[in-house]
């Protein structure tokens, strides 16, 4: 993953990407306190507003803009999200993240910013 370059955006509305190592992004703790605070917010609208200010990446590659026609180079990874909205029967996302991390084709699994979901890189 260290040699895998992806696009990073200032936030989910931003259209100006910069390149970053996928591994560097996954190891970055710059926003740890922000994420920990967001996980304490119970009001969904407020939580979404806070999340919207965080930077984001396109883990599937380098993009000139955030849509399929903007793909410059694919990273070789596909990202999937599993969240509570679509999976109300899942109650322990921390445990799910750990279980998914044991699957041989899952290169990385992490909790979502809200903590109510998991994302995986396959």
**With contact defined as beta carbons under 8 Å apart, do 72 and 61 qualify?**
yes
Work out whether strand 79-83 and strand 56-58 pair parallel, antiparallel, or are unpaired: unpaired
**Pick from 47, 56, 50, 49: which is nearest to 18 by CA?**
56
pLDDT digits (tens, 9 = 90+) for 89-113: 999 999 999 999 999 999 999 999 9
Q: What is the pTM of this model?
A: 0.85
Token pair recorded at residue 102: 């044991």
* H helix count then E strand count, the chain: 4, 8
Q: pLDDT, tens digit, for every residue of 4-37?
A: 999 999 998 898 899 999 999 999 999 999 999 9
Among candidates 100, 66, 64, which has minimal Cα distance to 80?
A: 100
């Amino acid at each position: 993953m260290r040699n895998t370059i992806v696009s990073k955006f200032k936030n989910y509305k931003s259209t100006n990407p910069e390149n970053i190592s996928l591994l560097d992004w996954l190891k970055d703790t710059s926003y740890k306190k922000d994420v920990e605070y967001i996980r304490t917010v119970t009001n969904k609208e407020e939580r979404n507003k806070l999340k919207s200010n965080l930077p984001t990446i396109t883990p599937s590659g380098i993009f000139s803009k955030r849509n399929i026609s903007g793909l410059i180079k694919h990273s070789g990874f596909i990202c999937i999200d599993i969240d509570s909205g679509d999976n109300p029967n899942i109650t322990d996302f921390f445990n799910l993240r750990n279980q998914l991390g044991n699957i041989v084709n899952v290169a990385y699994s992490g909790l979502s910013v809200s903590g109510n979901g998991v994302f995986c890189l396959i």
